[in-house]
A and B are shown apart, each in its own frame.
Chain A
Amino acid sequence: MNTSTYRILIDSSADSFVITRNGLIESVNPAALELFGTLEEADCIGKRLSDWIDTSMGKELTNKEEQSIYKAPTSLGRREFSVSRKDRASRIVDVQISVIQDKEDEVSLYVMREISNQDLFRKELDLQNKKLHELNATLNQAQKLSHVGSWKWNMATDEAEWSDEMYRIYGVTKENFYPSNKNVTKTVIPEDLPKLEKGVESLFKNQIFEPFEFRIKRPSGEIRNVYIIALELGEIGSENENIIFGVTQDITKQKQIEEDTLKAKISLGNIEKALNNAQKLAQIGSWLYNIESQKIEWSEETFHIWGFDPKHGAPDFKSMVERIHTDDRDLFLTYVNKAIHQGTPYEIEHRICLPNLDQKIVIAICQPVLDIQGEVVSLAGTSQDITELKKTEEKIRKSLKEKEILLRELYHRTKNNMQVISSMLSMRSLYSQNEEIKNLLDETKNKILGMALVHEKLYQSNDLSRINLKIYLIELVELLKNNLLIESANIVIVTAMEEVNANIDTAIPCGLIVNELFTNAVKHAFPDGRKGTIKIQMKKTERDEILISVTDDGIGFPDSIDLKNTESYGLEAIVMLSELQLGGSLELEKKEGTRFTLAFKETLNADRI
């Protein structure tokens, strides 16, 4: 084909052809003139194509793009532009750009085809559809997030339309569930059906809609709580006349939270009740004082103890202090101030004077609560009513005091009675001519006096149960010395004793044993005015064993007497006292005189009074 044939082809083409050289229009075909709204080629030749391109649609050919077109070696593909016509109307065109190199010049061919009205509609529709789709997606997302579904139902035809969320709420899919009246009714828990019917009925009768809730059962068996937020009837006379529009919300989660909250509230209430009961029984009230807000919280029992009515709330600090006994107020305030300003906890006893003039004794305990900086932010504390406790304590103390007095009196009288018996024996001894009887009476008298001395020591003691064994034995020896008329020039008595305390059940056998041994030594170890020493020692070993020994440096114990098998009453008695009563032993050593050692542990009698 030659050039003219091309020219004919181009001129007869329905598409617009524009050829530019170095950016300026060199040639146009009749279709292009038609597109630009002119009949004259002169209107176009020598001008830039961009002069005709409409910039108002935001799709202008920028300089940069124009340049890139020139530099691009081949087809730049299709672009869409708005063309400004000479008659000021505008057309939308598809532009196909091709660039051809012609020696030094750059030649571009623009082929433009007007987009038809139909295309425009299609494009607009696509756009609207896209927007609608986006809107739908947004709505769907919103419904999904809020668990709210929307629906419409045609009463006449039983046709229904559900939003995606409705299907999700009912746990069904579009494919296997059609929301007809029958199908939807089947999902409702039977006992909740009346609620649904009542709600719809009220809408028809009174044109008023009250939101209502009911339960549905999903195919999986799961029960959901749903809530009809809105119901609306289509306008009468319109095409929607028979349609009900509705909005349904799945409120299962909220219901669960509500139920849990209620349960927690009940459980908390029960705990509070139990605590209140416990406080009531223990007569301990608790309180919390927030220093910054000056708010005071009191437990029920605190109100009861302080005699305030819980209905009026916790009293202010001033009213509370006014209830404290005037003599105790300063003490109370000092401690409270210390707690607030120095964070010092306290435990004090004070009295409360009630309006009915009753007085209570209370133990107040307070623990300051500190923040991270160590500042006191609140005070927490308890008030315990110890009035009854105090009364009982006083009663017991009084009763104990009485018993103590009685016991002391009893010891005193026992001692006196023993002394009377001893005096009687002493008198009998004075009147007796028989030395043996005199001796017997005197020995018995000394034993009774030794026992009386224990009772004397007991009523003088602090706790009425234990005496100082050292002092007792020293006084016993002194008493025996006087009664046995030892001439100090002949017999020297030495005592070396450690401090040992003992109770009556230990002291009496010890006294009787020492009495017997000491008397024996005085009477038999130093015959014919022989001089010597009697040593009485007592010590406690590391194993808590008490050792009491009576030693003399006299003529020595007769070999004929066996301590373990003796017919002598005195010796047999002290062996039995040592073993049977003290659970210990009595040993005899015959070396440069005589030494008896009593060894025992007090454990056997420790618990006895």
Chain B
Amino acid sequence: MEAKKKILIVEDEALHALHLKKILKNKGFEISGVVSIGDEVFKSVEKDCPDIALMDITLRNSIDGIEVTNILRKRYNFPVIFISGYNDEATLKKTSLITNTWKLTKPISETVLLKLIASVLKDV
């Protein structure tokens, strides 16, 4: 049997995080961690490297998700799906500069999210 794919959730809204966790667990993914601050992302990745990460862009009291991903890219190349409430051009441009990333805008459709994850993981 194929090993479960591991997903890291980076989200500072607890109920959104919980929602994502429930959906993904139901679909047979393993959740490597649920964190809300940049520092915790690095700790979690160090401890248990995921196959893919869902990354909220705005993070309270922390460097934002784009910056976190930029730092991650120095050592890791797992795919990152940005999840953002904003859809402005500056943000889009910033995310497009980072390799192996995708972007979804809130509110997220469960179906779209699962399809995207499946397609990203297939390419890996």
Chain A residues close to B by CB (< 8 Å)? 505, 509, 569, 572-573, 576-577, 579-581, 583, 603-605, 607-608
Contact = CB atoms under 8 A, between A and B. Distances in A.
Contacts of B34: 576, 580
A580 B17 contact: yes
Nearest to A608: B60
Given A573-B18, A576-B14, A580-B11, 18 more contacts: A569-B18, A572-B18, A573-B14, A573-B15, A576-B17, A576-B34, A577-B15, A580-B14, A580-B17, A580-B36, A581-B12, A581-B13, A583-B61, A603-B61, A604-B60, A604-B61, A605-B60, A608-B60
Central interface residue in A576, A580, A581, by most chain B CB within 10 Å: A580
A478 B14 CA distance: 26
Closest 6 CB pairs of A and B: A576-B14, A581-B14, A580-B14, A577-B14, A580-B36, A576-B18
Contacts of B36: 580-581
Contact of A580 (B12, B22, B61): B12
A432 to B, nearest CB: 24
B14 A509 contact: yes
10 contacts: A509-B14, A576-B15, A576-B17, A576-B18, A576-B34, A580-B17, A580-B35, A604-B61, A607-B61, A608-B60
A150 B13 CA distance: 103
Interface residues of B, number: 13
Contacts of B11: 580
A568 to B, nearest CB: 12
Contacts of A607: 61
Contacts of A569: 18, 22
A375 B106 CA distance: 74
Contacts of B35: 580
Interface of B: 11-15, 17-18, 22, 34-36, 60-61
Nearest to A505: B60
A576 B36 CA distance: 11
A604 B12 CA distance: 11
Most buried by A among B13, B14, B17, B61: B14
B10 to A, nearest CB: 11
Contacts of A579: 14
A335 B70 CA distance: 64
Nearest to B40: A580
Nearest to A509: B14
Nearest to A574: B14
A572 B19 CA distance: 11
Nearest to B34: A580
A579 B18 CA distance: 12
A542 B13 CA distance: 28
Contacts of A580: 11-12, 14, 17, 34-36
Contacts of A572: 18
Contacts of A573: 14-15, 18
B104 to A, nearest CB: 20
Contacts of A608: 60
Nearest to B22: A569
Contacts of A603: 61
A583 B14 CA distance: 11
A248 to B, nearest CB: 82
Contacts of B18: 569, 572-573, 576
B122 to A, nearest CB: 30
Contacts of B13: 581
Nearest to A512: B15
A579 B35 CA distance: 10
Nearest to B9: A580
Nearest to A579: B14
A519 B65 CA distance: 36
A505 B13 CA distance: 10
A608 B22 CA distance: 28
Contacts of A604: 60-61
A603 B61 CA distance: 9
A133 B102 CA distance: 113
Contacts of B22: 569
A569 to B, nearest CB: 8
A607 B61 CA distance: 9
Contacts of B12: 580-581
Nearest to B61: A604
A216 B58 CA distance: 82
Nearest to A575: B14
A216 to B, nearest CB: 76
